Amino acid sequence: MMITTTMQRVFSFVFLLALSWSAQAAITLSDPVPVGPQVKIGKLANGLTYYIQKNTKPEQRVELRLVVKAGSILEDDDQQGLAHFTEHMAFNGSRHFKKHELISYLQSIGVKFGADLNAYTGFDETVYILPIPTDKKDNLETGFLVLEDWAQGISMNDADIDKERDIILEEARLGKGATDRMNKLVLPEVFNGSKYAERLPIGKEDIIKNFKYEAIRRFYADWYRPDLMAVVVIGDVDPVQAEKMIVAHFSGLKNPAKERVRDYARIPDRPESKSLVVTDKEATNNVVLIRYPVRTSAQEKTMADYRQNMIKRLVANMMAQRLQELTLQATPPFLGASNSLGMIVRGYESYSSYAVLGRGGVEPAVRAVVQENEKARQYGFSTEELERAKKMQLRNVESAYNERDKTNSVTYAAEYIRHFLMQETIPGIVNEFAYFNELLPGINLAEVNDYVRRSIPVATQKLVVYMGSDKTEVPAPTESALLQLVNAAEKMPVVMNEQKKVAASLMERPVKPGSIVSEKPNKELDLLQLELSNGVKVILKTTDFKNDQVLISATRFGGQSLYGDKDNFNARYANAVVWNMGLKTFSPTDIPKVLAGKAANLQTSSGFYTESFSGNAGTADVEALFQLLYLRMTSPRKDEELFKAFVSKSQDATKNTMANPESIFNDTLISTLFNDHPRLVHTAKPEDFSKIDLDRSMTIFNERFSSAKGLTFIIVGSFDVDKMKPLITSYLANLPTSELPVKYKDLGLHAVSGVIKKEVRVGSEQKSRVSITFNGDARYSKEENLRFHAMIEVMNLRITDILREKMALIYGGGMSGALSRTPTQTYRIGVMLPCGPDNVDKVIAAMFAEIEKMKIEGPLPSDLNKVKQNWLKERQTQMRTNGYWLSNLQDSVLYGTDMAEMLSYEKRLEDVTVYDVKEAAKLYFNTNNYVQLVMYPEK
């Protein structure tokens, strides 16, 4: 007899609980939260802390981290920006690696700069990220040597420091704009005048330009010391070996003879309420923030603290659900909102209310978020809300428990970094699963509502901030009026929320299942191909890559191309319109309530030439996923009010998008490339949504998504085929398959030809962007696709090496491209290089010089090898992921190619030569056919 999904979970829960409790006594709330057995924590005599965990996801890879409890908050007045500058210098030469040698070596073993190798600087910490492939014995030893050099061996040469100044100034330039300008006014108030507002990690430009070399060396000597450091080693490594390497490489680190005290900045109390109104002509969103008193955050130490944190998360979940429901009104009070208790910086937290404003402006938004706080504080939550939140929380923990041996090492590394920096508890998922199963059921409504009454502030000092555009239909309030709005909202009477009953399930299983008419195994790929009685096809691929994940996909040709220009907006937004109205009798917020305790999600999408179904579920929740799919195809829901809410929110969300200089630039680029084609995808504008007709959009959606004709559903993941088949016959074999066209029409979205150059003058900051786009006809093949992308990746190495490192013209940017097969075979290569206005001509000249060099000389063999090594490492990881198999199988089904081609990737990659890349450059970099756009500031 087949066990139902619910019964399976009950039996699984009871069995696991019995196993857990056989070796563990009941929880005592006064006990400290233990460190889990999965990780070894140690400390060297010099004070350096280390974390080691063996984890084989992904195989033959170790994640190394160097964590330093030193960030921008520790900078002296003459060092503002030098914590971040120090991080940059770590990649510019050290005791064992000359300048450029480190990055070049790591690239040669498959580690990609930026994507893999990276670092970041915060207020209180600097973290270095180094993933190391372990297929070669010496790689790990070299990885530890790199961390050792970062810790106390950075060269800090004068010339390298001077070269890096320009790169960091370019990084600072990227962050400039409306948000940056407003934050400079707001952050001093948000931090209550604390030093945090004066020590933003990017620093001050005049200091970056002019600081003396001694200043950065002083910061490095003062704060990069072992008693403020941790080394994190997670991955496919022997823990004993890892510990020996840590001792060998880091025991010799020295603390300064005269240590400076490592204090954390204090955030003072706010003496009285205050409001602040900040506007900017380039702001794209209007928001309001209410920050209640900042307080020191209690450290989670005991099991009682752990249980209290469960309550905090339950409340946050329930509050978020209530606020989301308010966005479903025909004229919602805000576009999105949150009411929650959250961390500001290490050691401090605050209860805050935040809202993105809609067309009504600040008054309805303030009133709504404040009243929801008051409703929760005065009346609490309901039993139904609490039980749903418990189910959701338990399912999340259950999923993590099920994947405990398939969790990526990156996740564990991040957890131990938080433990070192903020003392986050790390009992391990096995313990946490046991804690949740014992503690969560005992949390009752009375204590939850008592927590709400205690945690939501009332009649206290606050900071109220309005940030937004200076061009709004509803004028920004004055500062005094803004504060009065909040005070008045706090005094308004509120009534308890009504709780609507929701169904226990989405639907009953169809009474008459279809059938499987044929089965065809594919031994080469270890999959099973089915044909169902309604003509639908299914491909089943069982894997052990994850323990609790099933993915599904189905794509066919058609899409928006089948509808004329008059239906442009109806077809473009049909999918969004229907999804925003729910399905069957369920509103969009009803569905997660019905599915509480289940992990199941479904999406549909419609592009120009295809339409798709995609979804994911936990192994025990596949039936819920199939029900979502079945109802989406057979029972779309029409709701006039929710349609109006969708239009209203969309118009409000896009009304200021074109105030952003980058949006204007991108819009101009697309319009230029496609010669103002009426169907081109541009930045959404408010007037787009007024052109949508509800009935027509629903008709279009139903025409394309109410029939499964021509679909092949691909299902990949952790499932039992024999248990999957009854679900397939009940749901997929029951899907309607009425006639519909499954071919696309060419919309004529072809890029312009010839050389076109334009300037776009927009924005008040001294920022430029150089865009160069090559396009033309192509001949697609798997082999050509590899040559094409190898060329692009080699060019990205050159962009980083020449334009950034040697010439210091840019901080970020690069090249991307694609070979397309639909509607015709074409290629497009886009180069995007942000820079200073004074450097535009230099950037363009340098870029074209590298292009010509590639066409004449081809790539350096070492550069091509770096690309290949990175791809091989990625491939090794990808072949153990469900998503990679799903996308490759989907591509083969859509284009009718041999599915087994994915197995010959390594051979195709091996065959790519320096000559191939050079010839590709000659073919694709056609300097008689490109579009060049340059963004300059208005003045």
Q: Could you report the per-residue pLDDT of 762-806, keeping only the tens digit for each?
A: 999 999 999 999 999 999 999 999 999 999 999 999 999 999 999
DSSP helix/strand/coil, 297: coil
- Residue whose pair of structure tokens reads 């994507």 in the numeric block: 115
Positions of the chain with pLDDT under 50: 1-24
Contacts of 484 (CB under 8 A, 6+ apart): none
Amino acid sitting at position 264: Y
Consecutive H or E run containing 293: strand 287-296
Closest CA to 276 of 476, 492, 490: 476
DSSP string, 593-662: HHTTT--EEEEEEE-SSEEEEEEEE-GGGHHHHHHHHHHHHH-B---HHHHHHHHHHHHHHHTTGGGSHH
Dist. CA 852–CA 842, nearest whole Å:
15
In degrees rounded to 5, what are phi and psi of residue 223?
Answer: -115, -20
pLDDT for 137? 85
* Assigned token pair, 606: 């419609």
DSSP 733: G
Residues 729 and 516: beta-carbon distance below 8 Å: yes
Assessment of whether the complete model's pTM goes beyond 0.85:
yes
Name residues whose C-beta falls within 8 Å of residue 373's C-beta, 6 or more positions apart in sequence: 339, 353, 456
pLDDT confidence of residue 100: 84
State the number of CA atoms in the 13 A half-sphere of 4 facing the CB. 6
> Cα(380)–Cα(396) distance, rounded to whole angstroms?
24
> What residue has token string 């209550």?
192
CATH topology of domain 274-407+419-491: Cytochrome Bc1 Complex; Chain A, domain 1 (3.30.830)
**Residue pair 176/48 in contact by the 8 Å Cβ criterion:** no
HSE of 30, CA atoms in CB hemisphere, 13 A: 0
Structure-block tokens of residue 206: 């005049």
- What residues does CATH 3.30.830.10 cover in the chain? 40-250, 274-407+419-491, 516-734, 755-936
Phi, psi for residue 902 in degrees, rounded to 5: -65, -20
SS3 118: strand
Tokens 């009026």 locate to: 481
Q: Does residue 58 have a cis bond before it (omega within 30 degrees)?
A: yes
pLDDT at 25: 52
Strand residues in 346-473 grouped as ranges (E): 348-357, 463-469
Q: What is the 8-class DSSP label of residue 709? A: T
**Per the structure block, which two tokens stand in for 708?**
């499964």
CB-CB contact of 607 with 549 (8 Å): no
Angstrom distance (rounded) from CA 10 to CA 320 = 28
How many CA within 13 A on the CB side of residue 619? Answer: 21
DSSP at 477: P
Helix (H, G, I), strand (E, B) or coil at 917: helix
Q: Kindly report the backbone phi and psi dihedral angles of residue 179, in degrees, each rounded to the nearest multiple of 5, phi listed first.
A: -60, -45
Long-range CB pairs of 699-703, under 8 A, 24+ apart, other chains included: 700/563, 700/567, 700/570, 700/571, 700/574, 701/574, 701/575, 701/577, 701/578, 701/636, 702/636, 703/740
What the block records as the tokens of 672 is 């230029």
CATH of the structural domain 755-936, one choice from 3.40.1010.10, 3.30.830.10, 3.90.79.10, 3.40.50.1860: 3.30.830.10
Q: At what angle do helices 362-379 and 303-326 cross, to 10 degrees?
A: 140
Q: How far apart are CA 185 and CA 421, in angstroms?
A: 29
- 519, 529 contact by CB (below 8 A): yes
Integer-rounded Cα Rg, in Å, for the chain is: 29
Q: Which residue has 């370019």 as its token pair?
A: 170
Following CA atoms 248, 254, 260, 266 in sequence, which dihedral angle do they give, to the nearest 10 degrees? 0
H/E element, 828: strand 826-835
367 with 290: CB under 8 angstroms? no
Distance between CA atoms of residues 880 and 888, nearest Å: 13
Only one residue has tokens 């510990």, namely 243
Residue bearing tokens 């091509």: 864
pLDDT in the model for residue 470: 85
Q: Any idea how long the chain is?
A: 939
Q: Which CATH architecture has domain 516-734?
A: 2-Layer Sandwich (3.30)
DSSP letter, residue 155: -
**54: CB partners within 8 A, 6+ apart:** 235, 236, 237, 238, 239
Ramachandran quadrant class, 347 (left: phi over 0; alpha: psi -120 to 50; beta: rest): left
> How many helices (H) and strands (E) are present in the chain, helices listed first?
30, 23
From the CB of residue 530, how many other CB atoms can be counted at a distance below 10 Å? Answer: 24
420 by DSSP, 3-state: which?
Answer: helix
Pairing relationship of beta strands 755-761 and 600-606 according to DSSP bridges: unpaired
Fold for the domain defined by 40-250: Cytochrome Bc1 Complex; Chain A, domain 1 (3.30.830)
List, in order, residues 6 or more apart from 322 with CB less than 8 Å away. 372, 375, 376, 497
Tell me how far apart the alpha carbons of residues 527 and 711 are, in angstroms, rounded to a whole number: 18
